[in-house]
Amino acid sequence: MHHNRLTEQKIRQLKLEIISAYENLVIRSYSYIRFLIMNMRIIEELEQYLPQRGTVLDVGCGFGLFSFFFALSAKDRKIIGVEINANRIAAAEKVREKLGLDGRIEFHVSDVSNYPFEQPVNAIVVLDLLHHVSPKLALNMLDQFQQILHEDGILIIKDITAKPWLKMAFTWVLDKLMDFRGPLRYYTKEEMVSFVEERGFDVKIHRMIDILPYPHVLYICRKTTL
């Protein structure tokens, strides 16, 4: 179901508000580049699938960039951001206060498998994370998502696909520049769909057009109804 289609002007306004809230120049530059890569069309296409109210889990939230965007674009959402890097969470908490979102966003230094979810969440968003972890961890995370997602909730995965290989190679270079030692494993669309379906989800692929040479794919996943 598509809803809450944001205008380009509104998306641009929210982006600028978030970027300018970061005091650290390096983080602010990173945020600008990240929002540039995730252009307005991609953000708008992702946003339309999120529920307008309820709890959204942002897995691997980093500096909180998209947690803030999701909170500012719908006032009835509560956001839980989970990230293993304590420095990134510390930066995110400063911006949360500056944006006046203290009551609406929780940040936790944890990985998903260790965070104690007391109630199911309505949506889970995983942006460009699964190709940065080992295949075993990626599958464990998908198992966890099945457990913590509400029966009528939605799992949204945006990741890089392995084809076409030229676009993948471009992405590989940038990923290695960001973190040379980190693991990288890109999956074909068929592999990703298979992994998610095996864990009890119906999967729809939302194809995206991008002027930059990134092979983005958006996977819209809902629990299988028996």
Burial 170-182 (b: 16+ CB within 10 A, else e): ebeeebeeeeeee
Report the chain's mean pLDDT, rounded to a whole number. Answer: 84
Measured CA to CA, the distance from residue 177 to residue 167 in angstroms comes to 16
What pLDDT was estimated at residue 217? 85
The CATH T-level fold of domain 8-223 is Rossmann fold (3.40.50)
What pLDDT was estimated at residue 65? 93
Q: Would you say 189 and 206 are in contact if contact means Cβ atoms under 8 Å apart?
A: no
What pLDDT was estimated at residue 95? 97
Q: Residue ranges of the domains in the chain?
A: 8-223
What pLDDT was estimated at residue 129? 87
The string of DSSP letters for 111-143 reads -TTTS--SS-EEEEEEES-GGGS-HHHHHHHHH
DSSP state of 151: E
What pLDDT was estimated at residue 48? 86
What pLDDT was estimated at residue 133? 85
Measured CA to CA, the distance from residue 87 to residue 214 in angstroms comes to 28
What pLDDT was estimated at residue 165? 52
What pLDDT was estimated at residue 17? 95
Pick the closest to residue 137 from 113, 171, 110 (CA basis).
Answer: 113
Measured CA to CA, the distance from residue 1 to residue 85 in angstroms comes to 34
**Along the chain (226 residues), what's the average pLDDT of each consecutive run of 10 residues?**
69 92 91 77 83 95 94 94 94 96 94 82 93 86 92 92 58 53 75 93 81 73 80
What pLDDT was estimated at residue 69? 94
